[in-house]
Structure 1
Amino acid sequence: MNFNEYGFLPPHDYEITLNELRESLLVRGPGDGEPWDVTWRLFLIDQLEVLVQQLWDVGIHQIYIDGSFVEAKAHPNDIDGYFECDVMELATGELERKLNALDPYKVWTWDSNSRKPYRGYTKKQLPMWHRYRVELYPHFGQPSGIKDEYGHDQQFPAAFRKSRDTFLPKGIIKLSR
């Protein structure tokens, strides 16, 4: 795994464990002499691990991460991702209840009313972002709210495999146990 000329992982789903992620280019850096915030990136992985373990504990195993964390950016703001889930478990609130039963901060919600501002950011953030600096969204086949280059809504799998400004294809990380 290496960054391409655009600072992205080449288009592919890179399946790796959290421990492999900690030792990867994404945390250790490209080794080109440019500054790379390894400490911050390790912190983000530790935070991600808390949420991923909770997803695994409720039986969710298709988990993908993306965003500036998987780009050649020395200090990413956070980790973004999505996971595949059952629409009925999400719609009934059962998934949220199960996850919040595991999380001491009860951060599992995607209700837009739960979003709060954070200094220096224009976008309001979910409770999980405020606590963990990670946002993981449920995916069951619905649009993501992210538009493609033609203005059409994309599902998470497509939206997370393109850059949001240039729409160039890029790689994504699939977490495995």
Structure 2
Amino acid sequence: MGEISKTESLQFDFPTIRVATDNFSDANKLGKGGFGFVYKGDLEFKNEISIVAKLQYRNLVKLRDFCFKGIERLLIYEFVPNGSLNQVRFDTTKRANLDWQMHYKIIVGIARGLLYLHEDSRHRIIHHDLKPGNILLDAEMNPKIADFGLAKLVLLNQTQSNTHRIAGT
């Protein structure tokens, strides 16, 4: 697969948009803009696949494959045996193994993952749902940022993004 230009990485094909907006139904019409009508669409699953497939970094969970079967949408990620940071925090046995050195390792790994998303990746990405449940821990307790369903690609020269609706938890 060749290098994807900035314009191509932000472009969906027409059939995908047609499905996402339920064939541009009136129920999904939000208003009218300078170029025509504005529609609400459901692209979260496609968004997650297109974003995660492009990302390769040690502190981001790796997407192995995906599957469409009828209405089912399945994402297949690498196996991360220690579960989420949230699970470790609330499990008394696992939490007992978290000393300051391990806390520091996890914090630095999360920060490295965010730095990659915001600065070092070919695609500047804002996660929009970073929380302990979306930080997975591998066998060596290395953190991996997961769940890019609400993530947003921004232009490479953008330093901030405005969200006009509540996103994440």
TM-score (structure 1 length as normaliser): 0.27
Higher relative contact order (CA 8 A, sep 6+): 1
Which structure has the larger Rg?
Answer: 2
For normalisation by structure 2, the TM-score amounts to 0.28
